[in-house]
């Protein structure tokens, strides 16, 4: 198993002055008898670690459980709703933003875009859908 947690200190992150934070999102679901349940998390974490090694980004710890309802018949699968995953990602974003945007003026545009996407015409709040979220 890889060390999935970033090891940087606060001082190292301050010196890195990363303009972007990246959040690996994996899952805990079946991949047959030959791969671990954490395969998606391992892959997402390795990709994000490679990006963090090459660019000045803040590597966040991975989210290891996501929407895997379609795998619920297989032993070991753990799943959460799309609403819960959305809430966790939003809370992580808010936490990173509260810790101080790396550069002045950063961080508000994505938040405004997210809020705009959650609203329907006429200003009614749109609720995130439950169920599996397709992978890109």
User: Is 0.85 surpassed by the pTM of this model?
Assistant: no
CA gap 9, 71 in Å, rounded: 37
CA gap 59, 5 in Å, rounded: 9
Q: Is position 92 within any domain?
A: yes
The count of structural domains within the chain is 1
Q: How close are the terminal C-alpha atoms of the chain, in Å?
A: 25
Q: Is position 113 within any domain?
A: yes
| pLDDT for residue 124 | 44
pLDDT tens profile 2-51: 565 677 777 777 767 788 889 999 999 988 889 888 999 999 999 999 99
Could you tell me the residue range of the domain that residue 31 belongs to? 17-117
Q: Is position 38 within any domain?
A: yes
Q: Which domain CATH number covers 57?
A: 3.40.50.10310
pLDDT tens profile 66-125: 988 888 888 888 998 999 999 999 999 988 888 764 543 344 555 555 555 555 454 444
């Amino acid at each position: 198993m890889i060390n999935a947690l970033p090891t940087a200190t606060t001082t190292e992150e301050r010196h890195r002055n990363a303009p972007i934070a990246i959040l690996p999102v994996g899952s805990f679901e079946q991949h047959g008898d030959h791969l671990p349940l954490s395969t998606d998390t391992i892959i997402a974490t390795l990709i994000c670690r490679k990006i963090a090694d090459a660019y000045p980004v803040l590597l966040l710890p991975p989210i290891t459980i996501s929407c895997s309802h379609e795998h619920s018949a297989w032993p070991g699968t753990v799943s959460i709703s799309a609403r819960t995953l959305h809430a966790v990602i939003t809370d992580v974003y808010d936490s990173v933003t509260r810790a101080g945007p790396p550069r002045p003026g950063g961080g508000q545009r994505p938040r405004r875009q997210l809020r705009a996407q959650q609203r329907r015409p006429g200003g009614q709040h749109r609720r995130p859908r439950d169920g599996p979220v397709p992978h890109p």
